[in-house]
Structure 1
Amino acid sequence: MVNLLEAAYPSRFSPISVFTLHLVELKGRAHAHQGTLMAQHFTAAAPFSSINDDICTLALDKKAALIVTPFHKQYGIDGNVDHANSAIRSINLNVLDKAPCSVGIFIDRGETEGRRSVLMSHTWRNVAVIFIEGRDDAEALAFCMRIAEHPDVSVTMIHFIHKSSLYLNHQAGEENEYSEAHLINNFKNFSLNKPKIHYREEIVRDGVQTTQVISALGDTYDMVVVGRDHDLDSSVLYGLTDWSECPELGVIGDMFASSDFHFSVLVVHQQEGESLGMDDSCKLPDSPPRIVDPRVHPRFSVEEGFTSIDLHNNR
């Protein structure tokens, strides 16, 4: 998780506020860390069946832009699954369903043998973002645009395009600041004259070729970011949607959960704004007057106020 924060490149001009929620069953305490990244630490002691409510309540209370939760499988040094926690999987599914903001499920392979040097330096060197289409991929790309600001990290956008699109007039649709075409062009322009930023197109005819390209990623990257949901009728994914072991990761994210891959993965889901106004399941309950810190919901215990974490002494 430290690697993920480092890659997001917090600086004095673009700081990050992080709220860490230590989830424990019935009892436990959060641990504080020691800039440019401001962290506030909480402990939520509750049955696993309701911990997702604590996560969503805190995110809503703090107006969080992104909730990052761990994948329920942990990987050993050999790359194979070392442990699977069904309770964490249930929490992730419920958070995806009720979250008041975007959600990222983090598959952490930072401690695999091939990544130990990277873990020691607290940063990834090579990051890729998979872009097919849709709002989740757009969210993933936006996150990687921030990573691309990091001077020590190389970022590659891998854009999957169906071969039939080559014969279409891409200019037919109007481009605006929220369109996918605008986001892609923005990344292309950003990559100009930047040797560490790359744009790569992969022309495929079906899901088989998409799988071949993804399988060829090998150990090129330290982390891959991808959107969770895609148009399941997309020709780029044809043949990939028949079976999925972990549907909470989406079609592509589920592939990356395989032990065939050894890099960390962040699967991003953008919560639909229209549903937030209708769903008040995460609405904060009325609470009595707060005595200690008015920023902290009484359901949570706070170790201290904001802690300044200096990840970059030279900024």
Structure 2
Amino acid sequence: VDRGLGGTTRVASSDFSLVITVLFFGGNDDREALAFAMRMAEHPGISLNVVRFIPSEEFKPENVKLEISEDHASCSVETRLVDIEAITELKAKIKEQESSLSNSESESLIVYEEKIVKSHEEVFEAIKECSKSNLFLVGKSPEGSVASGLHVERSDTPELGPIGN
């Protein structure tokens, strides 16, 4: 929490550069991570990359527990709709930012990309491509078929979730 007590040790925003990457699989926790990152991206020294993982037609999760009930199906559809709404808000913020950039500023500070993945190996490869990031944000319990397909053999830190391990 910055209480403004830094005095002379404060860093000017022109001397500050941080790259944050949000790994978005879907679900409440990922939406919260995205909202937090968007708020952080309001700082001029922060660049935000959002990577959304979308399963391809051939995607076959390894450890999926199927629950067939009307409540679960409607919850999944509602979750997807709210996820789409969050991504739409992100895209609107990117457009707003691009329209406010002057010609001298060439790059947007918020970048959104979608990765269509066929297996959990492709998910890990996509995460490795983001290695230049200073900070990764991801929900503790990501939802969706891509996240459910990530298999963790043994977890010393279950509080980090499947991506943190």
Structure 2 residue aligned with 1:210:
123
* 1:208 Cα deviation after fit: 1.2
Equivalent in the alignment of 1:238: 149
Q: Which residue of 1 aligns with 2:22?
A: 129
Deviation sequence 1:234-258 (CA, Å, 0-9, x none): 245424234323111000122xxxx
1:144 and 1:131, CA in 2 relative to 1: closer, same or farther beyond 3 A?
A: same
- 2:40 aligns to what? 147
Closer/same/farther in 2, CA of residues 124 and 206 from structure 1, 3 Å limit = same
Partners of 1:136 and 1:197 in 2: CA distance: 20
| 1:36-65 residue CA offsets vs partner (Å, 9 max, x unmatched) | xxxxxxxxxxxxxxxxxxxxxxxxxxxxxx
Question: Any unmatched runs of 5+ in structure 2?
Answer: 59-76, 102-107
- 8 A Cα contact 1:204 1:236, kept in partner: no
Are 1:196 and 2:99 counterparts? Answer: no
Alpha-carbon distance in structure 1 between the residues aligned to 2:17 and 2:157:
26
1:160 aligns with 2:73: no
CA distance in 2 between counterparts of 1:156 and 1:217 reads 9
Normalising by structure 1, we get a TM-score of 0.37
1:182 CA drift (Å) = 0.7
Aligned residue for 1:59?
none
Structure with more helix by fraction:
2
- Root-mean-square deviation (Å): 3.1
CA distance in 1, matches of 2:53, 2:17: 24
Post-superposition offset of 1:123: 4.6
Deviation for aligned residue 1:207: 1.2
List structure 1 runs of 4+ shifted beyond 3 angstroms.
121-124, 173-176
In structure 2, C-alpha distance between the alignment counterparts of 1:239 and 1:175, rounded to whole Å? 19
CA distances 1:92-141 after superposition (whole Å, capped 9, x unpaired) = xxxxxxxxxxxxxxxxxxxxxxxxxx9xx985421111100111001100
CA contact (8 A) 2:120 2:150 kept: yes
How many percent identity over aligned positions? 31
Deviation at 1:201, TM superposition (A): 0.8
Structure 1: runs of 5 or more not aligned: 7-17, 19-32, 36-117, 166-172, 255-315
- For 2:160, give the aligned amino acid: L
Inter-partner Cα distance in structure 2 for 1:122 and 1:184: 30
Q: Where do 1:40-55 residues align within 5 Å?
A: none
Work out whether residues 22 and 33 of structure 2, in 8 Å CA contact, stay in contact via their aligned partners in 1.
Answer: yes
